[in-house]
Amino acid sequence: MASHRSHTADRRGAVVQESAKIGINRRARRAAVALLALCALLVPTLAAAPTVADTTFSQTFRVFQQGNLQGNTHGGGSLWACFDTGEGLGRIVRYSMTGAVLKRSPELPLGHCAEIAYREADNTIYAVDYVPGGTTAHVRVVDMSLSVPAVVQTFDVAQYGLGQMVAIDNVRDQMLLKTGVAPYRFVFFALSGSKAETTITPLRELTYKPRLGRPQGLEVVGDEFLFLSSYAGGGATAYNRIHTFSLQGAYKGYRTIPIARESEGLALDRSAGRLYFGLHSPKAIYEASPAVLPAA
Ligand SMILES: [Ca+2]
């Protein structure tokens, strides 16, 4: 937004300067003034264009599980949430779409599990275990179909940077990892094999320099990916934003969630085209509708 304004101001200055230099007559000057007035009218519209979609935010269900609600994902007809229970451990809970608890994992070595993702190819859940201030980073593959759910595969991903979010592109069966602070690094991996035999192969990396609040969630939607972040104001979370990038890394805009509670994790119901996110204090799952911005 700021770049739109400064760009406009530069152009306005250039027009005025040009007029003075060539000493144009009053009629031409009046036309220039009219043009500037038109620009002033148009500019807010243009600047707001990426964010005009009328997105509504509604609570899907309250969450009563103990622990620090973090990552969210959707798959197998359910919503899943990960709770940081402290000392490097986390627990994944499976919910019906109306909030009934269907299954709980034991405490697993999932760290902060800031984001989780569902891989449809083998019905596993991917969790990032990075803990703020830590120097290691893993993606853990959790098999929630076991009678006692367990981590069945671990990828050491510290070499791609710390401060991570994870998403699965279930159309292409790829993993997307977000790491780093400034710039952000978005790394795509091919997935092969399943469960304990899964392997990852790095494919490509994108970077994005501006910081976008505190990272909270990541999802791949069609040819785009969504990045959720929280913004502080007055020492607390003031609002949240869902940012949209193309899969080629172009920043396409954002939608503001005007709720002063920290957001936690994004979850996409791919078949129904619905998008969910978590909120803290009180803990809850919310839906953002529509799931994606209409094409600009
Ligand atoms: Ca997710």
Give the pLDDT confidence of 231-270 residue by residue, as tens digits. 999 999 999 999 999 999 999 999 999 999 999 999 999 9
**Signed CA dihedral, 153, 128, 190, 73: sign only:** positive
Q: For residue 196, report the distance from its CA to the centre of ligand 1, in Å.
A: 21
Q: For residue 218, report the distance from its CA to the centre of ligand 1, in Å.
A: 6
Q: For residue 75, report the distance from its CA to the centre of ligand 1, in Å.
A: 10
Q: For residue 92, report the distance from its CA to the centre of ligand 1, in Å.
A: 12
Asked whether residue 163 falls in the same domain as residue 276, the answer is yes
Asked whether residue 176 falls in the same domain as residue 256, the answer is yes
Asked whether residue 26 falls in the same domain as residue 69, the answer is no
Other beta carbons within 10 Å of 22: 7
Round to whole Å and give the CA distance between 43 and 133.
Answer: 42
Least confidently predicted of 106-120, 140-154, 220-234, 281-295: 281-295
Q: For residue 187, report the distance from its CA to the centre of ligand 1, in Å.
A: 16
Q: For residue 264, report the distance from its CA to the centre of ligand 1, in Å.
A: 9
The pLDDT, as a whole number, for residue 175 is 98
Q: For residue 221, report the distance from its CA to the centre of ligand 1, in Å.
A: 11
Torsions phi, psi for 277 (to 5 deg) = -150, 160
The answer to whether residue 294 sits within a structural domain is no
Q: For residue 112, report the distance from its CA to the centre of ligand 1, in Å.
A: 14
pLDDT-derived band at 26, boundaries 50, 70, 90: low
| Residue 42 confidence (pLDDT) above 60 | no
Quote the number of domains for the chain.
2
Domain that holds residue 16: 2-51
The pLDDT, as a whole number, for residue 4 is 35
Q: For residue 32, report the distance from its CA to the centre of ligand 1, in Å.
A: 51
Asked whether residue 79 falls in the same domain as residue 216, the answer is yes
Give which of 84, 74, 124 is closest to 276, Cα–Cα: 74
Round to whole Å and give the CA distance between 116 and 105.
Answer: 14
CATH number at residue 182: 2.120.10.30
pLDDT-derived band at 69, boundaries 50, 70, 90: very high
Q: For residue 115, report the distance from its CA to the centre of ligand 1, in Å.
A: 5
Locus of tokens 């899907």: 60
The answer to whether residue 134 sits within a structural domain is yes
Q: For residue 165, report the distance from its CA to the centre of ligand 1, in Å.
A: 8
Q: For residue 125, report the distance from its CA to the centre of ligand 1, in Å.
A: 10
Q: For residue 180, report the distance from its CA to the centre of ligand 1, in Å.
A: 18
Q: For residue 265, report the distance from its CA to the centre of ligand 1, in Å.
A: 5
Q: For residue 267, report the distance from its CA to the centre of ligand 1, in Å.
A: 4
Looking at the chain, the number of H-run helices and the number of E-run strands are: 2, 20
Mean pLDDT along residues 182-187: 94
pLDDT-derived band at 187, boundaries 50, 70, 90: very high
Q: For residue 71, report the distance from its CA to the centre of ligand 1, in Å.
A: 6
Asked whether residue 103 falls in the same domain as residue 195, the answer is yes
Round to whole Å and give the CA distance between 30 and 49.
Answer: 29
The answer to whether residue 295 sits within a structural domain is no
Q: For residue 210, report the distance from its CA to the centre of ligand 1, in Å.
A: 22
Asked whether residue 46 falls in the same domain as residue 73, the answer is no
Q: For residue 220, report the distance from its CA to the centre of ligand 1, in Å.
A: 9
At 215-229, the pLDDT tens digits run: 999 999 999 999 999
